[in-house]
């Protein structure tokens, strides 16, 4: 295990890069985006090197760094990763450069400069790394709240027509959840002071203390509300369709690909190990929300006419599967849930990117404005198909393995919820294939058509011929001319090809990620009191007495 501070570097490099981009003089847009790409690639390299340095069979938290921050309150700037956090850092490292290249030709809205966009993007990357790497609960809370700021400005300054509404709604929902969690963080500190004689926010110390079951439930709910909003679970989900629809494509990719995962990561990292009794007692209620989200969001997705809102609703359904895996309390299901977090970020991120490419060509987000695109842009249609199939978890794509692990890991302990969740797989096939069929096949529609030149009315002879009005009615209707839809450019291929490769590679060989995740998942199940089969002695399997 290397002594190099990989995690600290992954936080500091994009933060410094954001400051450097913001300080560039006006008119240096090209330099700003090149610097942003370079910084994001450095973070990817650091994530890869951290993975190489990580020993999957070693200590639970590795690559640790700890510096006293607020000693009077026992707050440390403490960083460390287990396999669960590490794969999320890899996901960040992959997605941010892809977003940078995908946004390369974007133009700012209003008077905003793209330098601001690149600076906020790098600052967001720094905050996202911090929230997954923090091993001090107070530090986690600081990053949890701080990452709202750059995303707020990305949506509010560079988003769609209703960007201000979406940005404020996103910020308020997340802020309210964060304030509820702050109350629970303070309560946890008070409990630790009573139990240990000195208050602490250190995760390892907190998970060792015994907390009264009644107090556990209150603290669990404080953390759970914040994470359920961030995930989001139904009924805390209403901010995501608006934010996903109005965010710029790059921001939407990171919103559903990474930021939302903070919620499900929080369930695994904090709710289960710190409040095991409350987690077991309240799990059935959480599972009701998870399954309701799978079915409800899938049905809503099928009824959407806005492609970006449709993809946002699919994410809500997928988060239901992740929550099912987390609260099934088996190592297999938890491993599948974490792998699902990574695979969802890749698959849905790719789907958002290809939707953005389609919108850039047609200038419309409406499904009904497209049709017959595959005949003119086969590469675009092919990437769209791969992204859609990965989203519905077709065997051979990355999402299939994670969804399969969640279902087979959940069935022994939560059979009723698992069976209900499988209905969502059928619904996923419907909304994805309908979207693909309506946009890629059939005759061109809407924005892909342009009126042909008017056909003059035929000339009339003598006074007994048709009147001008009659001649117009009898003239053949002008058939609309078809607009040419360009296929993927080299830059767009550079964006899509790595994502497609990852979708296929993880579909056939996910074992390296599973090897990283499984030991941390098993340790979490040990914290929550589950036996090797995943059944907690205090939480009988459904259908038993």
399-449 pLDDT tens trace: 999 999 999 999 999 999 999 999 999 999 999 999 999 999 988 887 777
Q: What share of the chain is helix, strand, coil (3-state, %, to 5)?
A: 70, 5, 25
Q: How confident is the model at residue 109 (pLDDT cuts 50, 70, 90)?
A: low
- Which residues contact residue 428 at a Cβ distance below 8 angstroms, ignoring those fewer than 6 apart? 298, 314, 317, 391, 392, 393
Residue 339 and residue 406: Cα distance in Å, rounded?
Answer: 9
Residue 367 and residue 357: Cα distance in Å, rounded?
Answer: 14
pLDDT at 443: 85
Estimate to the nearest angstrom the gap between the alpha carbon of 483 and the chain centroid.
34
Strands 449-450 and 75-81 come out as unpaired
* Residue 444 in tokens: 């061109």
Give the C-alpha distances (Å, rounded to integers) separating 427 from 191, 204, 233, 459.
Answer: 45, 41, 18, 57
Asked whether the beta carbons of 344 and 329 are under 8 A apart, the reply is: no
pLDDT, one tens digit per residue, over 166-221 is 999 999 999 999 999 999 999 999 999 998 888 899 999 998 898 988 999 999 99
H helix intervals, 103-136: 114-133
pLDDT, one tens digit per residue, over 44-97 is 999 999 999 999 888 999 999 999 999 888 899 999 999 999 999 999 999 999
pLDDT, one tens digit per residue, over 325-380 is 999 999 999 999 999 999 999 999 999 999 999 999 888 899 988 988 998 999 99
pTM for this predicted structure: 0.90
Asked whether the beta carbons of 342 and 272 are under 8 A apart, the reply is: no
* Residue 107 in tokens: 């133009």
Percent of all residues in the chain with a pLDDT value above 70, rounded to a whole number:
90
pLDDT, one tens digit per residue, over 44-58 is 999 999 999 999 888
Residue 14 and residue 144: Cα distance in Å, rounded?
Answer: 17
The kind and range of the H/E element at 65 are strand 62-70
pLDDT at 61: 94
Percent of all residues in the chain with a pLDDT value above 90, rounded to a whole number:
74
End-to-end Cα, the chain, rounded Å: 48
- Write out the DSSP string of 439-465: HHSSS--GGGEEPPPPPPPPP--TTTS
In sequence order, what are the beta bridge partners of 78? 66
pLDDT at 464: 40
- Which residues contact residue 186 at a Cβ distance below 8 angstroms, ignoring those fewer than 6 apart? none
Residue 46 and residue 52: Cα distance in Å, rounded?
Answer: 10
3-state secondary structure of 208: coil
């Amino acid at each position: 295990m290397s002594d190099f501070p990989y995690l600290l570097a992954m936080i500091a490099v994009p933060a410094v890069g954001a400051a450097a981009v913001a300080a560039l003089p006006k008119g240096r847009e090209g330099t700003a985006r090149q610097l942003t790409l370079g910084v994001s690639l450095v973070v990817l390299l650091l994530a890869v090197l951290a993975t190489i340095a990580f020993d999957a069979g070693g200590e639970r938290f590795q690559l640790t760094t700890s510096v006293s921050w607020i000693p009077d309150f026992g707050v440390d700037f403490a960083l460390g990763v287990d396999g669960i956090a590490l794969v999320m850092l890899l996901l960040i490292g992959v997605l941010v450069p892809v977003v940078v290249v995908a946004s390369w030709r974007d133009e700012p809205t209003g008077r905003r400069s793209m330098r601001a966009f690149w600076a906020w993007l790098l600052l967001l990357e720094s905050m996202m790394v911090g929230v997954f790497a923090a091993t001090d609960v107070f530090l986690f809370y600081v990053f949890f709240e701080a990452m709202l700021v750059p995303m707020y400005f990305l949506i509010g300054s560079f988003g769609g027509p209703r960007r201000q509404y979406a940005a404020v709604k996103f910020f308020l929902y997340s802020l309210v959840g964060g304030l509820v969690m702050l109350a629970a963080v303070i309560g946890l500190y008070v409990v630790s002071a009573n139990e240990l004689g000195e208050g602490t926010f250190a995760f390892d110390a907190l998970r060792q203390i015994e907390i009264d079951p009644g107090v556990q439930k209150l603290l669990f709910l404080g953390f759970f509300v914040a994470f359920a909003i961030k995930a989001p679970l139904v009924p805390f989900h209403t901010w995501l369709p608006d934010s996903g629809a109005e965010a710029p494509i790059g921001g939407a990719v990171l919103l559903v690909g990474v930021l939302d995962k903070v919620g499900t990561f929080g369930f695994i990292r904090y709710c289960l190990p710190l409040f095991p009794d409350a987690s077991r007692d309240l799990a059935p209620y959480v599972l009701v929300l998870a399954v309701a989200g799978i079915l409800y969001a899938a049905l809503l997705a099928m009824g959407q006419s806005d492609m970006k809102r449709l993809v946002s609703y699919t994410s809500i359904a997928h988060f239901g599967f992740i929550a099912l895996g987390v609260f099934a309390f088996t190592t297999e299901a938890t491993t599948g849930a974490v792998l699902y977090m990574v695979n969802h970020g890749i698959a849905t991120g790719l789907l958002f990117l290809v939707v953005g490419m389609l919108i850039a060509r047609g200038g419309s987000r409406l499904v009904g404005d497209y049709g017959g695109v595959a005949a003119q842009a086969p590469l675009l249609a092919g990437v769209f198909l791969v992204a859609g199939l990965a989203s519905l978890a077709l065997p051979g794509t990355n999402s299939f393995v994670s969804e399969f692990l969640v279902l087979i890991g959940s069935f022994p302990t939560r059979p009723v919820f698992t069976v209900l969740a499988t209905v969502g797989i059928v619904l996923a096939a419907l909304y994805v294939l309908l979207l693909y069929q309506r946009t890629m096949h059939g005759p061109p529609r809407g924005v892909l058509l342009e009126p042909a030149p008017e056909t003059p009315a035929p000339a009339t002879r003598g006074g007994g011929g048709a009147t001008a009005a009659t001649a117009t009615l009898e003239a053949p209707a002008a058939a609309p001319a078809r607009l040419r839809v360009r296929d993927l450019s080299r830059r767009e291929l550079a964006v899509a090809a790595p994502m497609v490769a990852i979708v296929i590679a993880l579909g056939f060989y996910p074992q390296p990620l599973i090897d990283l995740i499984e030991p941390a998942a098993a340790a979490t199940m040990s914290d929550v009191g589950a036996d090797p089969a995943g059944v907690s002695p205090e939480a009988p399997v459904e259908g038993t007495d």
